[in-house]
Amino acid sequence: MNRNVNESVCPVEKSGMLDNKFRKLFQNPQKILRPYIKEGMAVLDLGCGPGFFSMEIAKLLHPSGTVICADLQEGMLDVVRAKIKGTEYEPFFRLHQCDRDTINVSESVDFILAFYMIHEVPDQVRLFKELKSILTPQGQMLIIEPKFHVPKKSFHAMIDNLEAIGFEVVEAPKVFFSRSIVVTHKI
């Protein structure tokens, strides 16, 4: 598999702008994730970048659970590694470098967070099929996309793709300057 990162993926050099206190004023991880993440879950932070949400996921899982931080760029995972090193939350983490064509995670997860990254994926249907195969039957996936990159028409086309492979939208939470949905397996 090809591990080359193309221009559509935010480079490691810009990771600082993705992980700062100012951003928490508008996109507070605890507020966004608290309704969905419970102690003991296995959570996939897909396209985790520098781990803006990852540490907060671990705090919500405490005292047990797993955060799988998956990213294409080893450099982003290095940033997460440095952030968690020596903390009480370090045992919760599993860092995983994805391939360009597959996330290649085999364990089942109860929750998937895909924040501002689906629009970077060239074959969304393939990705959604892979995510469906690892999401537990009662699991949920929260997809949040930036309004400034993803027009309403593109977002609705993404929803059509999700529904075509067996997901259903169960919620559309409000997230600042974003389009967002929660999906689960269609019953």
Residue 22: predicted pLDDT: 60
Residues in the chain with pLDDT values less than 50: 1-6, 15
CATH superfamily for domain 26-185: Vaccinia Virus protein VP39 (3.40.50.150)
Residue 100: predicted pLDDT: 86
Distances from the Cα of 134 to the Cα of 31, 67, 107, angstroms? 25, 14, 6
Measured CA to CA, the distance from residue 7 to residue 16 in angstroms comes to: 18
Q: Where are the domains of the chain?
A: 26-185
pTM of the model: 0.90
User: What is 57-111 written as a DSSP string?
Assistant: HHHHHTTS-EEEEEES-HHHHHHHHHHHTTSTTGGGEEEEEPPSS-----S-EEE
